[in-house]
Chains A and B, each alone.
Chain A
Amino acid sequence: MGKKEINLFEEQLSLPGFAPSEREQKHLIKKIIEALLFASAEPLSLQKIREILETKISFKPKILRDALEDLQDEYIHQQRAFRLEETAEGYLLKTCEEYAPFIQQLFRNKRQEKVSQAQAEVLAIIAYKQPITKPGIDAIRGVDSSGTLQILLERELIQAMGRQEAPGRPTLYGITPHFLFHFGLKDMSELNLKG
């Protein structure tokens, strides 16, 4: 938005009697969300966006979702190189797949490692059975998972969620929000991978 527009916006904020039309307001909110998304290093939840906006403006809650949907559509229609996606219980800008070969050049040697087959197995078990103890995981896999668990903990794909009220008080494991991001999942309900 241009300099003039920002000034207009400032005026609107400072004049309590001035009520911008819903269309104008949505337009402004869209731009603010766009700026937030552009700058954010983590998925922004609807709640977070609302909190930030509410510090400066008052608006109908419905506008927020509308604005996000509009942005989502706009990026697609304008054929932008990125899109707005819901991932890990928040909104995030993601580059489109076709540019991956180029961005790969940019981030050479800095890419996240893929999970190994064993790690994927343990993650799948934890994701569906959480909270679950190490003996519980071992029983399903039939092999010892200590090493794999340790790596997954370090990668912050899983976390300790407390202890089971049983002899030895074994640690219970569950998945992290980072897990959702790593696998590009919107939320836990998207985990219907099991056949």
Chain B
Amino acid sequence: MDSLLLKTPQFQGPLELLCTLVQKEEIPICELEIHSLVLQIKELLSCLEQAAESIGFAGHLLLLKSRYLLPQDPLAVAEEPEGLNRTLMENLIEYCQFKEAARALANREEQARESYTRYKYPQGEIKKPLGIDHLSLSDLASIFEQILQKAAKGRTTIEKEEWQVADKIEWIQKQLETAKQTPFETLFPLTCSKLELIVIFLALLEMMKLGVIQVGKDAETKTILVILVYGKERN
């Protein structure tokens, strides 16, 4: 996408460059006629994305100019507006750098697309399992019983420890971080005490309620899977 090319008495070129130059104080903001700039931009606009960007830049220019024109409040601490101005400029310069980096990335992408490999792209979505509807409470209960039975065999020591659902939720999340989905049983280590198993089970139920995970049957193997719900990593 080409940038808008503007013409003013002091400057000729894309709007972004003008913005950068103004920030660097190479073009005095007081001499810029924002009104004529805006008219030019309005005339040149062709697409929406471009529009959003131009409005952003023009807005920044306007802000800088209004700051310049408005009388400084004599009561305000002298340093403050200057500091504000600087961070604004820094932000703008930084943003321009990121725009540059984004362009560089796009170029790299263009290059990379010219070569083909056997690389398997992520499918974006994990193959949908059958879902919770195919599971009854008794199914869940029976697996849990199986796990308890297995666990009963290999027990040797008795330890007193307190297990918390919150800890287990964190732990389960960690387990799912890389794999995204895992068979139900793997979340119940055989070395756990009965109480711990119960807490893990409660944690799973809690996470299902929160919508962080889904439990479902794999369509092919009929094993019960715990699946991390995609994109639920929000605040």
Choose from B95, B104, B230 the contact partner of A154 (Cβ within 8 Å).
Answer: B230
Known A-B contacts A117-B1, A193-B105; the reply to A142 vs B56 at CB < 8 A is: yes
Find out whether the CB atom of B119 lies under 8 angstroms from the CB atom of A95. no
Q: B167 in the interface, Cβ–Cβ < 8 Å?
A: no
Q: A73 in the interface, Cβ–Cβ < 8 Å?
A: no
Q: For chain B residues 111-162, which have a beta carbon within 8 Å of chain A?
A: 111-122, 124-125
Find out whether the CB atom of A124 lies under 8 angstroms from the CB atom of B231. no
- B76-112 to A contact mask, C-beta < 8 Å, 1/0: 0000000000000001001101111111111011111
Q: B49 in the interface, Cβ–Cβ < 8 Å?
A: yes
How far apart are the CA atoms of A178 and B99 in the complex, in Å?
Answer: 22
What B residues does A85 contact at CB under 8 A? 115
- A127-144 to B contact mask, C-beta < 8 Å, 1/0: 110000000000111110
Q: A100 in the interface, Cβ–Cβ < 8 Å?
A: yes
Find out whether the CB atom of A100 lies under 8 angstroms from the CB atom of B124. no
Find out whether the CB atom of B108 lies under 8 angstroms from the CB atom of A41. no
- A111-137 to B contact mask, C-beta < 8 Å, 1/0: 110110110110111011000000000
Choose from B52, B97, B106 the contact partner of A195 (Cβ within 8 Å).
Answer: B97
What B residues does A185 contact at CB under 8 A? 108
B53: nearest residue on chain A (CB-CB)? A117
Find out whether the CB atom of A40 lies under 8 angstroms from the CB atom of B104. no
Choose from A43, A92, A128 the contact partner of B101 (Cβ within 8 Å).
Answer: A128
Known A-B contacts A183-B112, A184-B111; the reply to A120 vs B230 at CB < 8 A is: no
The number of residue pairs between A and B whose CB atoms lie closer than 8 Å in the complex comes to: 125
How far apart are the CA atoms of A39 and B118 in the complex, in Å?
Answer: 8
What A residues does B124 contact at CB under 8 A? 154-156
How far apart are the CA atoms of A117 and B49 in the complex, in Å?
Answer: 9
Find out whether the CB atom of A171 lies under 8 angstroms from the CB atom of B235. yes
A157: nearest residue on chain B (CB-CB)? B122
How far apart are the CA atoms of A69 and B94 in the complex, in Å?
Answer: 39
What B residues does A112 contact at CB under 8 A? 113, 121
What A residues does B111 contact at CB under 8 A? 97, 184
Q: B233 in the interface, Cβ–Cβ < 8 Å?
A: yes
Find out whether the CB atom of A100 lies under 8 angstroms from the CB atom of B102. no
Please give the distance in Å from B124's CB to the nearest CB on chain A. 5
Find out whether the CB atom of A171 lies under 8 angstroms from the CB atom of B233. yes
Q: For chain A residues 155-195, which have a beta carbon within 8 Å of chain B?
A: 155-156, 160, 168-171, 178, 181-185, 193-195
Q: B35 in the interface, Cβ–Cβ < 8 Å?
A: no
What B residues does A181 contact at CB under 8 A? 112, 119
What B residues does A92 contact at CB under 8 A? 117-119
**Additional A-B contacts beyond A39-B118, A128-B101, A153-B233 (5; CB < 8 A):** A124-B101, A124-B104, A140-B95, A141-B95, A150-B231
**7 examples of A-B residue contacts, CB within 8 angstroms:** A40-B118, A42-B119, A111-B113, A117-B49, A120-B106, A140-B95, A183-B109
List the interface of chain A (C-beta within 8 A of B). Answer: 39-43, 85, 92-97, 99-100, 103, 107, 111-112, 114-115, 117-118, 120-121, 123-125, 127-128, 139-143, 150, 153-156, 160, 168-171, 178, 181-185, 193-195
List the interface of chain B (C-beta within 8 A of A). Answer: 1, 49, 52, 56, 91, 94-95, 97-106, 108-122, 124-125, 230-231, 233-235
Among all A-B residue pairs, the 8 with the closest Cβ atoms: A184-B112, A193-B104, A124-B101, A120-B102, A94-B115, A160-B233, A97-B114, A156-B122
